[in-house]
Structure 1
């Protein structure tokens, strides 16, 4: 596969776009991961059936309110997971871990997102070009195949980085917090190289989200773009079309394929409770019901809409600028 100057442009543009999106929405990424997990303070708690939960306070025992560690005098018979709002989670992280807590995992996130987006857009553009030469050009089938190849390549190459990022985002300590080096060492000591690929099966299933997104993105973008005699107005409308197409396509894809994200986060947690893709999926259903598979969806949508718009507008803009100056 020959690499052309245009391929390099797509590679660089993808890296820049991924960096912009990740840096702008990192706090919401941390919040989403915490809500998805079972290890955060507002995770799954065992409580007595038909008895209101209580928490220990300095002056005795009072009904539990908000999010805190609590106990109950009655026997344990039922498991529940409190519903936690996005803003409540942000405030708690800021209170217990400081503002830096909202940017945990940003280092590996950028380390992963830059090559991930660069590799994805490069592979997607290359496959799209190749398939357009042997198939009906720019059809949904071309976009599906291109997205799948791009997603599979990126997932295989970058999965260890995402595992480290998730572990760092789930770390709730202000002092003596988990560092990237400590995390890598701990995972390797406990599980060897295979430990860095926990949750990769869920990630492969998650390729369907990327495929759905790019099929809808290409379709929405083509419908929204139109010709205009004023070049400046045409460029502005093109950017707006790209932003809308990026946001809408990601929202649709996220809603359809979201459960794999919750399963993947649980598999990447420390501990042995979640062992495999099917076991984790069924365990979440058993303990939390269907709603458990959609924990953090609102936060994900709030994060993904601007993130996708930023990524797609940045990507298309960088490609256009680099093609003009080359």
Structure 2
């Protein structure tokens, strides 16, 4: 039974109104905590399961990846004779993976997992809570649950999350780029953070933040597609024969597929910012600013370099996003129904 508006003549008028307001505030706080918890749990599960692929992707994105020399035979323009020209070929994901396993050992595939676990739960929690609250606000400003609402909510949530969590992701990237032979002692997260602070100061923790802001476009595209697909799934699958809302296990598999499709398309469209972000976070590199980095990569390595590491990124991000979003939906569904 909901809160009913009593008449002024009723004895408990003020008490009932105050009780209604307190109940609504309590429900809003509970919903926020629910989204924080669901986002944190889903992010942690996804990070653990896909960490090796993230290390592989980061190595491929960096400027320090070893380029294999090749010699290409070309016909001379005037003499029509063969001219041997030196060149380089970027190693593929399997070659980089083999190199990491041979030179650094299997444990190196989990470099950066510490700060990832420290950061992923609060970052996902912050993101989903901010997304939920932003969507409530934008639903009052625009057409409810429209594409504009979903894109705006995703953009605001990503901006807040990136601003707060960039120092942790900076340390994670530095740890993943650290190359040391098998048996050599490697820096842990705390040592890496101290080193960054000693060498670059507080500003060092915010390297790559401009590229992270550029990556908000990927998040906005992803959530626009996901919410659209989810809305269509809700019309077709979540309605039982008696007209009541009822979710089945197969429905969550459909949500995983929707998340995978959304993230895959968004990653392909907005991927270059990932390469620029990794280059900006490299230690002692020549990359200083977002556009300067993009120009250097284009001039020195060609436009194909903006898509280095895309394959392991898709292999990692698609299942990771599917796991995160479906786990989030499941937790919200289970705990939301139990309230």
After TM superposition, the score normalised by the length of structure 1 is 0.86
Gaps of 5+ in 2: 1-24, 75-84
**1:124 alignment counterpart:** 131
Answer yes or no: is 1:4 the counterpart of 2:29.
yes
Query: Which residues of 2 match residues 186-201 of structure 1 at below 5 A?
Result: 186-201=195-210
Answer yes or no: is 1:96 the counterpart of 2:108.
no
Cα distance between partner residues in 2 of 1:12 and 1:284: 40
Partner of 1:4, secondary structure, is helix
Query: Which residues of 2 match residues 4-153 of structure 1 at below 5 A?
Result: 4-40=29-65, 42-43=66-67, 80=88, 82-153=89-160
Cα distance between partner residues in 2 of 1:124 and 1:312: 13
Cα distance between partner residues in 1 of 2:319 and 2:71: 42
**1:291 alignment counterpart:** 304
166, 185, 189: which is aligned to 2:173? Answer: 166
Q: Which moved more, 1:177-186 or 1:309-318?
A: 177-186
Cα distance between partner residues in 1 of 2:41 and 2:101: 29
1:249 positional shift: 0.5
**1:309 alignment counterpart:** 322
140, 146, 164: which is aligned to 1:157? Answer: 164
Partner of 1:138, secondary structure, is coil
Query: Which residues of 2 match residues 180-259 of structure 1 at below 5 A?
Result: 180-225=189-234, 226=237, 227-229=239-241, 234-259=247-272
Please give the root-mean-square deviation of Cα atoms over the aligned residues, in Å: 2.2
Tell me if the contact between 1:79 and 1:287 (Cα under 8 Å) persists in the aligned partners.
no
**2:295 alignment counterpart:** 282
Partner of 1:21, secondary structure, is helix
Count of residue pairs the alignment pairs up: 297
Tell me if the contact between 1:104 and 1:168 (Cα under 8 Å) persists in the aligned partners.
yes
Cα distance between partner residues in 2 of 1:145 and 1:233: 29
Question: Structure 1 pair 250/203, CA: closer, same or farther in 2 (3 Å)?
Answer: same
**Larger-gyration structure (1/2):** 2
Cα distance between partner residues in 2 of 1:102 and 1:165: 13
1:277 positional shift: 0.7
1:90 positional shift: 1.9
1:302 positional shift: 0.8
Cα distance between partner residues in 1 of 2:117 and 2:95: 26
